[in-house]
Chain A
């Protein structure tokens, strides 16, 4: 196998550009996805059965269908002309990002819901017995404890999202896998380009998951009683 293309700054440049795009996609998607997810989780706690049903269905459907299919559907739904920011075309970026937001938010909504439910019911009872309202109890007692359970899962979602951004490659978002494909077309080194891309992904995901493991350990320690 011929990895000599790695010595060529032209190819390294292309790969790094793709890498940057991937990181940006992942970070922004997790950030927005989490915000949407918190909104969904809070709304699901409301009394209205209709709202709960709709949101529940949303979460189940998004989690239950392949992200590629979601991308194709959202891509055809969005009517966006070529938008240039600098030399970058935002038009495939928008349906692509939307897909990632929606996808990430559905998984995160489940994680948040599970995190909230995992807080001992006794905490609710003790707080309400003191006279604190539902809202106060949730904000000051339950949610701070739920976060300890949610944060590790958030990290996992980030790692997953880093990899899932590759699904955008065919829709015209120039992220890492797209660039690997472009390199492969130029060097005819099929295996090499993808092996390098895989390595780059690993270089992103491994430190992140290690960080998350450490975070998990620290949070678990503070729970010892």
Chain B
């Protein structure tokens, strides 16, 4: 019994020291907006979705970059705070918001009615178009929706996403492959395990420049509604007002356009 207690104590000690020394990895990313700021505002995201948010090697440290990060920084600046970004799976983020573990969530998230029951959304800051990503070889085979709406065709989309609903509506006869992570869908596309993937346009553009052998079909699908918005805890009207003000400013001044194109460029530089 004493041995057991001893082992546990040692285990705890090692655990604590590793955390303290920063030897263990972290899913928290801190950004100093201004040296004079003392507090942090916490943003939740799912850094798996370029050009919205993804990890990059910045001067030897793992950092998150992308459109949503830039917007987060702008919000933090407006509030006179530094930014702390928490990275975890998409599904867990909404739960975090409702518990107040994070102050807002920006993750290329489309404001739907179901989500709006749990959280409050800002205005749409970017409206993307849904496109179909396929392989170069197959590009000419699919000229219209009918060409893909066959039960021999496998359509891929991200789980819990708008594209999933779109796939269900637009291609009822096709087989569907739904996965948690977009990169996994791309992998299957490249391997020929699925024929097409539904994505938001800038995301598809990102993969076009980075992965060989892919192509975007010319025809668009779905209506270009939805877009991406920032989510806050239900009832947090004050923060929401600030966020909306920041977003309006970014859009009207043209700063957002620059953020978007820079992010896409940064992504293509990989």
Contacts and interface: CB of A to CB of B under 8 A. Distances in A.
Contacts of A90: 19
Contact of A186 (B14, B26, B55, B187): B55
A144 interface: no
A215 interface: no
A72 B183 CA distance: 23
Contacts of B99: 79
Given A31-B11, A85-B20, A190-B183, A174 B26 contact: yes
A188 B210 contact: yes
Interface in A16-42: 17-18, 20-21, 24, 27-28, 31-32, 34-35
A20 B18 contact: yes
Contacts, number: 126
- Looking at chain B's contact residues, the main secondary structure is mixed
Contacts of B258: none
B88 A170 contact: yes
| Centre residue among A18, A182, A187 by max chain B CB count within 10 A | A182
B55 A185 contact: yes
Interface string B161-187: 000000000000000000011011011
Contacts of A88: 19, 22, 24, 26, 28
Interface in A71-105: 72, 75-76, 79-82, 84-92
Contacts of A81: 100-101
Contacts of B186: 190
B47 A182 contact: yes
B14 A24 contact: yes
- Looking at chain A's contact residues, the main secondary structure is helix
A185 B47 contact: yes
B211 A89 contact: no
Nearest to B102: A82
A171 B88 contact: yes
B60 interface: yes
27 contacts: A14-B62, A17-B23, A21-B25, A24-B14, A28-B15, A31-B4, A32-B8, A82-B28, A85-B16, A86-B20, A87-B26, A88-B22, A89-B26, A92-B88, A170-B88, A170-B89, A170-B180, A172-B86, A172-B87, A173-B27, A182-B47, A182-B55, A182-B62, A188-B210, A188-B211, A190-B184, A190-B187
